[in-house]
A and B are shown apart, each in its own frame.
Chain A
Amino acid sequence: MDAAAALGAAQAAGAPPPPGAAGEQQAAPRVERLSAGVQQQLNLEGMRARAVGLYKAISRILEDFDLIARTNPSASPKWYCLHHSSAPSCWPERILGQDVLGQFSMVSMELFSIVEDIKNVSKVFVVYPRNVNAENAAILPVMLSSKLLPEMEIEETTKRENLLSGITNLPVPTQIEKLKARIDMIGSACETAEKVIAEHRKSYGLGARQGTNLVPTLDKAQAAKIQEQENLLRAAVNYGEGLRVPGDQRQLHSSLPSHLVEVLPFGDGVQNFGDNSGVYPKNTSTFAPNSVNTQGNTIQASGGQLLGRPAPSPGAAGTPNFENVSTPPMPYANSPRSGTNMMNTPSPQQHLTPQQQRQKLMQASQQQQLHAQQQLRPSAAGMLAQNTIPQLQDLQGQAQQKLQVPGQQQMQYNQALSQQFQNRQMQAGRMQPGISQNQGNQLRSHLGQFAGAANSAMFTAAQASSNSQMMANMPGTMQSQTLLPQMQYGLSGGHPQRSHPSQMMTDQMYGMGTTNNTGMMGMQQQQQGVYGNMQAGAQNMQQGMVGLQNQTQNPNFPQQRQQNQQ
């Protein structure tokens, strides 16, 4: 207590004599001095100087605040830099704010260092209670340890007076009750305030501030229902499930919508017969459409059976094509949002930037290329032999059907080209087996296109059987501009002497390729030796032919051959 009082006196009054020694001297007649070491360590004079300086700095700041408060009562010193406030009235505030902030750190550091220094030597001083008797001896240590500083004591008394100002005259239990009531009132007010804030937060979608993400989770039943609906919808849109009306119910009950009225002269019924009589000349109306209709109806009835097969629909066959997506690393094209992070902040791709993705893709495609090229050489013939039969019988020739429509278009287009181009194609066709491996890169893109067109077996077979089949497909689908350079490259890079042994290969491949309609597309412009094989595979050709041709096709071959031999 003595030391505290002494130090307090040193700070407040700034008495010159060294307080420790002075206090001791005044209290006891004996002249006692602090040991020289402690005195040096404590360095009371220096400490006092620092304390005085700190005191002055703080008082100066307080004076400035008072000045502002007096001159501009409505203003409050703004604690942040106001770059945009240019009014002169707030300049002192602005400047003061910055100033005070700058000085605040120094002030606090100074105070902290002073306190630290005093702590170092406080063990030398002991609080010596003056008034000890039997009564308070037991609790004296507790009281000492929790003794408030004088300022704090004053504070507490004032607060107590404020609190109990109205009820000090009442007995203590009543005071307690009143205080409890006051506490409850304040508590309930806080709760209602919290509720209001939470409601507003919800309505504005801000979410809880505490960091707990209130993501509404669907219960299982709801999620299952939605999943079911989603499957229905996706199946309907992509594959047409659930939309097929059985043949017997396909009668046209009501009139056709306007966009179909002109298009379907007779629909599936005869109700619109009269409407379209103006479209068709009457002498033919009875003839042609009836045949179409009856044919359509009968085939429709059997079409149901045809469509019942699992393989045929491209959607169903698309599922083997989709096999790679059964377990994709990224199930969603966009990363799922988990919390309250709302709009317009796209989260990055899962861990691949687009560049990295591209690199990965390129790597993957390069690996594919290498693999395919490795397959190019060995056992090409073996695969051919193996695949000829399955290809013929296996009705996985989706490629032919898929490329029917574009093939038709391409046939037209190619016919429009010059004869020279056809010749060039023919020669290039011969060169195709001899194409070096480094052309595989160029073909990769085309193979990528056809990857979808052919199923896996055919694809690998086509890869293994060298690129000639794919090259055969290329004229069917590529435009002349892209085709010519490659053809020329094939010409230059090819080995003429290989044409003969590979001739057999191409023949076999074209035999295999008869099931592939696109092979047909290219064949018409290429090697005439193929047609010998085509005769043998005429049956398959029939199957592979686009419906624009009629069933008997052998008579057409000589015509084809003549054309291509020009």
Chain B
Amino acid sequence: TEAQTSLRHAPSLFASTPPPAGLSCHLLPSPHPATRSALPVGLVQRTCEPPARRVLRPSVGSPLGELDPGFPVSFLRSTSSNRRRMECVVQGIIETQHVEALEVLLQGLSGVPKERVRVHELCLKSGPNLGVVPSEVRLLCDLAQSTPSWTIRHVGGAMRGAGAEQISVLVRTIVESKASKNVLHYFYTIGYKLDHELLKIGFAFRFQRGAQITVTVTSTNKMSKLHATDEAVPVTPGIQLVEITAPAAADNYNDVVSAVTAFCEYLAPLLHLSKPGNTTGIVPTAGSAAASLMSSGGVKTL
């Protein structure tokens, strides 16, 4: 089949980037003894920068048991996140005119400097060779740094049940992993297709407040031409998206949920936050709240 052929002849992608300090690579496969030399030499040695290069080939006909060496892309995860497969997330919208005020508020609440966010998000869907029902994988390329870094993100289903209904925060399984920059090519090779892409530009605050909370305020942009990140236009010019996420594990998600909701209360004058599926509308007090935040007379002597 075509997929098989492409697998056979795909250039061997690699575990190229050595793990950053502090992360342990549980998943880096051990070098596979090259018992199968079905591939021509020219395909094996793909030149890439880092010296710690592991040449791996997708083994043709390898069963589940031998998938280890066939794994061409490195997935790096930290040990602490082994159990943390979930995240608590809420979303809200804010008018673009009030974003500055929100930044002021977040700066005050968090006490950390803001980070610029410029992420090119590519959403890939698997093709028919990978199953009847397509799966979705999101690749995030962080363009804010000098060297772009890639992350794979798989969004799982949300927690359900009576307990989930009670809490106003969405708790869902998530798998996130840094990846080498070949990840896009790799997914294309194994049959994923680009479903949609978007560019998120904004800022984020990461801080610890009962839980490791990340508040991201971004303007979501779409690209009319493929991959044209320079020509991205906002999907909704007047409204930006605010997303608050916090990683959680199955045993501590209650605490994380309460930490997130407690923090959300501080933002109540400016915006409503809810689970990603729910619409919220804007807050009527946003204008006056923003005005009071932006006014320099905030420190009046009484």
Residues on A close to B: CB < 8 A?
Answer: 204-205, 207, 215-218, 223, 226-227, 229-234, 236-238, 240, 242-245, 250-254, 256-260, 262-265, 267-268, 279-281, 283-284, 287-288, 291-292, 295-296, 299-300, 302-303, 306-307, 311-315, 317-319, 321-325, 328-344, 346-347, 349, 354, 357-358, 360-361, 364-365, 367-368, 395-398, 400-406, 408-409, 411-413, 415-416, 445-446, 448-449, 451-454, 456, 477, 479, 482, 517, 520-521, 524, 543-551, 553, 555-557, 559-560, 563
Residue of A with least CB distance to B288: A205
- Contact call B265/A343, Cβ cutoff below 8 A: no
Bound complex: CA of A295 vs CA of B254, how far in Å? 46
Partner of B135, one of A216, A311, A401, A545: A401
Least CB distance, B222 to chain A, in whole angstroms: 5
Give the residues in chain A near B148, CB-CB below 8 Å: 258-259
- Contact call A543/B132, Cβ cutoff below 8 A: yes
B209 contacts A by Cβ under 8 Å:
no
Bound complex: CA of A342 vs CA of B285, how far in Å? 9
- Contact call B268/A334, Cβ cutoff below 8 A: yes
Bound complex: CA of A243 vs CA of B190, how far in Å? 23
B 238-267 binary contact with A (CB < 8 Å = 1; else 0)? 110100000000110010011011101111
- Contact call B191/A299, Cβ cutoff below 8 A: yes
> Lowest 3 CB-CB distances: which A-B pairs, in order?
A452-B157, A401-B135, A346-B265
- Contact call A445/B250, Cβ cutoff below 8 A: yes
Partner of B195, one of A244, A265, A268, A321: A244
Give the residues in chain B near A253, CB-CB below 8 Å: 225-226, 228
- List 6 extra interface pairs beyond A218-B284, A524-B64, CB under 8 A: A253-B226, A263-B184, A306-B128, A328-B168, A332-B273, A398-B157
How many residues of chain B get a CB closer than 8 Å to chain A's CBs?
A: 148
18 interchain pairs (CB within 8 A)? A226-B281, A240-B195, A252-B225, A253-B225, A262-B181, A280-B11, A306-B125, A331-B274, A342-B289, A361-B166, A398-B157, A402-B154, A405-B135, A409-B175, A415-B65, A452-B158, A521-B64, A551-B3
Least CB distance, B271 to chain A, in whole angstroms: 8
- Contact call B47/A364, Cβ cutoff below 8 A: no
Give the residues in chain A near B211, CB-CB below 8 Å: none
Bound complex: CA of A547 vs CA of B292, how far in Å? 56
- Contact call B168/A479, Cβ cutoff below 8 A: no
B75 contacts A by Cβ under 8 Å:
yes
B38 contacts A by Cβ under 8 Å:
no
B301 contacts A by Cβ under 8 Å:
no
Least CB distance, A33 to chain B, in whole angstroms: 66
Give the residues in chain A near B126, CB-CB below 8 Å: 401, 404, 547
B198 contacts A by Cβ under 8 Å:
yes
- Contact call B61/A556, Cβ cutoff below 8 A: yes
Give the residues in chain A near B110, CB-CB below 8 Å: none
| Contacts known (A346-B266, A354-B258); A295 close to B125, Cβ less than 8 A | no
Residue of A with least CB distance to B191: A547
- Contact call A242/B222, Cβ cutoff below 8 A: yes
- Contact call B135/A314, Cβ cutoff below 8 A: yes
- Contact call A361/B10, Cβ cutoff below 8 A: no
- Contact call A330/B162, Cβ cutoff below 8 A: no
The B79-96 residues at the A interface (CB cut-off 8 A) are: 82-83, 85-86, 90-91, 93, 95
B143 contacts A by Cβ under 8 Å:
yes
- Contact call B272/A336, Cβ cutoff below 8 A: yes
